[in-house]
Amino acid sequence: MVIDRKEAVAVLEEIALLLELKGENAFKIRAYENAARALSTMEIDFETFVRSGEIAKTKGFGKALVEKLIVLVETGTLPFLEELRAVFPASLLKLLQINGVGPKKVSLFYHKLGVTSVDELEAACKDGRIAGLSGMGKKTADNILASIERSRRFESFFHYYTARLTADQLLAALRDITGVQKIELAGSLRRFREVTKDIDILGVSEQPAAVMAAFTTLPLVAETLSRGRTKSSVVLTNGMQADLRLVAESEFANALQHFTGSKEHNVALRSRAQSRGMKVSEWGLFDVSNGGETLIPCDSEEAIYKKLGLCYVPPELRENLGEIECAETGVMPTLVTEADYRGVLHCHTFASDGANSVAELVAHARGAGHSFLAITDHSKSSFQANGLNEERILKQLEQIRDLQKDLKDFRLYAGVECDILLNGDLDLDDDVLKQLDIVIVSVHSGFSRNKRDMTERVVRAIEHPCSRVLAHPTGRLLLRREGYELDWDVVMAAAVANNVAIELNCNPLRLDMDWRLWRRARDQGVRCSLNPDAHRLSHFDFVRFGIGFCRKGWLTANDIVNCWSTDELNQFLGHP
């Protein structure tokens, strides 16, 4: 039995949760969590990684973890995990997902009441058994019931786009409250995580009590979970949780840094501070080198990083995935900005499954200040999307050439989003593809093939001489459908060798290729094409946040073909 990387990550994560239930040392638990996280971002063949001994040289994998993972690779099972599973039924892990219920409570409920599932916990809350436990009371039981109800009523995660628009609405409402001097977004939304659980907002006010009162009674707020002087939590009408923290002006920079996270980034920063005789928290940076606690004033996030011997780390990069090591060198990449973006290379008209005409899309793109636009409707195999056959594509090509004649300082490219067939062939005749300015290739069928077959299929499409962009390369739909697996080493190498860009599709459901892969792709020489995959004019707005995901992938304007001049792009497309 072969254990792959994903399975190993799942094993480590499960061990961490079970150890929590067991009440193990928190640092031991963290060691498993860190190892799982490290492994999940590595692009390695897990078995080779373990067998070759490479694992033992990797930070975070000590003697105990290496030994366990060797057993896992060699036998396909891990007795250590089996023993833990025998102590706690697997269903207990689900209880940990209930807000306000942590390992201690789960363990208590299990041992005292035999509770093993959410339904049983609900029953125990209702019939008074929970309130009867020592240390628990009626309020605890009521809160657990409310949490269970909330988790059933709403999915716990939201797509970035939904969450961000909700957050922007909330920010605007908060800025209108009397006594609010400053309001900023923090947390995972500021860091551009693709899905998010809650909205974290940080504010400055000299009248925190009044502001908290106003916040918890906003029309957007459905329910107040907690309300303190510096922190309040609410559930919004759409089911999202939002937290507001208030601090004094002098504390703002430190608080913003702290509440932007990630947790892992902050742990690393605090550890760094400690090793330099300092202490960092949401309240400030302190010199603790001579036993006391002397505040080191920081009026900006830049100042905090500087005092810690680092250059500024943009929020998108704060995941403790190498950004601190990079900041230590004094040189950070100049990340792409919204102003660098010059045009969309993937959109649909009503000829296939879009809502607008070519002319409408052109007008919209020009209105947005873009320099070029590529029309890329679906090809004939995507019949569910009314894909175009050779004849219809050629007709559209003619229409586009006509439109171009009247366009000054704007390049309109004729293209197609051509289906990659099961064997890796493209869906349209070569002599038609050759006439187009840009051919985007993508998979829309046969998602369940295995990794090897999918890799071969995609690489074959990349190697087609007309291919220029590989679109939404895994086909994932966030919170709905896993993407198919690809051997990224092979796919990226093929993309570089054949001068094919890989798309970062910024449709909020896709965000595909994932930000975690981009730094590595860029280092290998892969070009990115950032596209909204627009099916209507409003989808052009996806680019605004798409830029954030490019930044999260460490990309500069130079790495993204959509940020190039029309001349440079023409050269890339082979159409001077």
Tell me which residues touch DNA (CB under 7 A): 25, 27-28, 30-32, 35, 59-66, 80, 96, 98-106, 131, 134-141, 143, 187, 197-198, 200, 226-231, 241, 243, 259, 261, 263, 266-267, 270-271, 274, 279-283
Phi/psi at 563 (nearest 5 deg)? Answer: -100, 0
> Do 366 and 410 contact (CB within 8 A), yes or no?
yes
Shortest Å distance, C-beta 283 to DNA: 6
Long-range pairs of 162-169 with CB within 8 A, sequence gap ≥ 24: 162/238, 162/508, 163/189, 163/196, 163/199, 163/240, 164/189, 164/545, 166/199, 166/220, 166/236, 166/238, 166/240, 167/199, 167/201, 167/242, 169/220
Shortest Å distance, C-beta 105 to DNA: 3
Shortest Å distance, C-beta 288 to DNA: 8
Q: Tell me the C-alpha to C-alpha distance, in Å, between residue 480 and each of 325, 407, 503, 505, 536.
A: 35, 41, 20, 16, 22
User: Which C-beta is closer to DNA: that of 80 or that of 350?
Assistant: 80
User: Which C-beta is closer to DNA: that of 76 or that of 277?
Assistant: 277
Q: Which residues pair with 285 in a beta bridge?
A: 280, 296
User: Which C-beta is closer to DNA: that of 69 or that of 438?
Assistant: 69
User: Which C-beta is closer to DNA: that of 66 or that of 296?
Assistant: 66
Shortest Å distance, C-beta 158 to DNA: 13
User: Which C-beta is closer to DNA: that of 104 or that of 452?
Assistant: 104
User: Which C-beta is closer to DNA: that of 126 or that of 138?
Assistant: 138
> Do 394 and 426 contact (CB within 8 A), yes or no?
no
> Do 339 and 367 contact (CB within 8 A), yes or no?
no
Shortest Å distance, C-beta 30 to DNA: 7
Q: Which residues pair with 284 in a beta bridge?
A: 281
Shortest Å distance, C-beta 61 to DNA: 5
User: Which C-beta is closer to DNA: that of 27 or that of 448?
Assistant: 27
> Do 127 and 119 contact (CB within 8 A), yes or no?
no
Shortest Å distance, C-beta 438 to DNA: 43
Shortest Å distance, C-beta 66 to DNA: 6
Annotate 51-65 with b (16+ C-beta within 10 A) or e (fewer): eeeebeebebbeeeb
- The residue written with tokens 């923290």 in the block is 245
User: Which C-beta is closer to DNA: that of 101 or that of 313?
Assistant: 101
User: Which C-beta is closer to DNA: that of 26 or that of 407?
Assistant: 26
Phi/psi at 417 (nearest 5 deg)? Answer: -100, 95
End-to-end CA distance of the chain: 53
Instruction: Report the alpha-carbon distance of residue 179 to residue 182 in Å, rounded.
Output: 9
Q: Tell me the C-alpha to C-alpha distance, in Å, between residue 459 and each of 276, 282, 410, 492, 518.
A: 49, 48, 33, 9, 18
Shortest Å distance, C-beta 146 to DNA: 9
